[in-house]
Amino acid sequence: MAVTRYRRDIFFDSVQSVTEAYLSRRRRIQRVKREKQQQKNPIIDWIEAFLWAVCVVLLINQYLFQAYQIPSGSMIDTLLIGDRIFVNKLVYGPELLPGLAKLSSPVKPARNDIIIFENPAYNSRGTAFDIAQRIIYMLTISLVDIDRDQAGNPKAHFLIKRAVGMGGDHFYSRRGEMFIQFSGENRIVSEREYNERRGWRHNITRLVAPSAYPSLELAGAAAAWIDLGLSPTQEMLGAISYYNGLTYSDMNTFNTYWLMSRCAAFPHEERYSEQLARRLQGWYVPPGNILPLGDNRDNSHDGRYFGTVRAAKILGQGAFIYWPLSRITFLK
């Protein structure tokens, strides 16, 4: 019994010694950390906190939600100039790094989604500048944009439009109104009629009145006559004067009638004949692509001018307006 008690005492003494050594070491480490913390410069503390905040903001903006400011009136009445919105970056798969590889997602852009994508006509100043610009833009929640043109205006690096056409669709424009022939169908339906049947209530804004089209079409033909060195009639001159007085115009219609007169005079000019054929035949949306259009049709540089956009290149979906406070709402 005495031997057993002796061994037990030795065991407990060993455990006690190890425990005391561990606790002493732990207290010593904590004391050293506290002393170092007290000795640290408050400015370094502030910088560390700021850098952590920067990382959190960048991660949220890059992979979850990013803030954008609306620079133009191409989406009126849905989005107004100066509106600040958050874009859902996760839904279609975020980019790994700004401007670089994009992750895939099982969710694909659907018809009528408000989408954001890189402007096909954007001239990049280099990968390093693009990454720096996007990081600064994200960190300041869209308040600072260093990517500006010679006049000091922000460049249209990204565009926000509505996904109107999907793969297989064929679109036609008749005096500014869009008509759709869906894949596998012969009939052509009005976009407005289709939206109404689906219960989509967003407004398709038109700034050119239907009564303006006869003069607009004649002005396009008159411009071609002048370019060909022909003398336009008084009626044509009146149409040109009317056209010059318009604040907004349907350039697609104007250019179509310019091409029609040009091709009538010189039908052998294949370049103009091909352009006219494309305008008269409408816009075909290849599979895997989207035709983006602005809700403000007569003041929108969209797919009618630069073509379709690959669905895999869509960066995000408009989520909600967060500023000004009077316009806070979810986008649809």
Query: Which letter does DSSP use for residue 205 in this model?
Result: B
The Cα–Cα gap between 87 and 225 comes to 47
**CATH domain 63-206+285-330 topology:** Umud Fragment, subunit A (2.10.109)
pLDDT, position 331? 94
Helices 213-227 and 234-244, packing angle to 10 deg? 110
Dist CA 265 CA 196 (whole Å): 42
Domain segments of the chain as ranges: 1-35, 63-206+285-330, 211-274
Please tell me the distance from the alpha carbon of residue 17 to that of residue 25, in angstroms, as a whole number.
12
Task: Return the higher-pLDDT residue of 115 and 55.
Answer: 115
Q: What is the mean pLDDT of residues 111-137?
A: 86
> In this predicted model, which residue has the larger pLDDT, 151 or 233?
233
Q: Are 147 and 157 in contact (CB under 8 A)?
A: yes
Arithmetic mean of pLDDT, 85-100: 87
Strands (E), the chain: 65-69, 84-88, 114-118, 158-166, 170-174, 177-181, 189-190, 283-284, 289-293, 309-310, 316-323, 329-330
Q: What is the pLDDT of residue 266?
A: 92
Tokens of 31: 């004391």
- Cα 263 to Cα 2, 168, 217, 324: the distances in Å are 118, 30, 15, 50
pLDDT at 235 over 70: yes
Three-class SS state of 33: helix
Q: At residue 208, does pLDDT exceed 60?
A: yes
State the pTM of this model: 0.79
Inform me whether the pLDDT recorded for 255 exceeds 90: yes
> pLDDT class for 223, splitting at 50, 70, 90?
very high
For residue 41, what are the CA distances in angstroms to 44, 53, 150? 5, 19, 43
Res 148: pLDDT: 84
| Average pLDDT of span 90-116 | 89
Q: Is the pLDDT of residue 169 over 90?
A: yes
Question: Cα–chain-centroid distance for residue 325?
Answer: 22
The confidence score (pLDDT) of residue 278 equals 86
Mean of pLDDT values over 11-22: 61
Average pLDDT score over residue span 298-311: 93
Say what the pLDDT of residue 1 is. Answer: 53
pLDDT of residue 85: 95
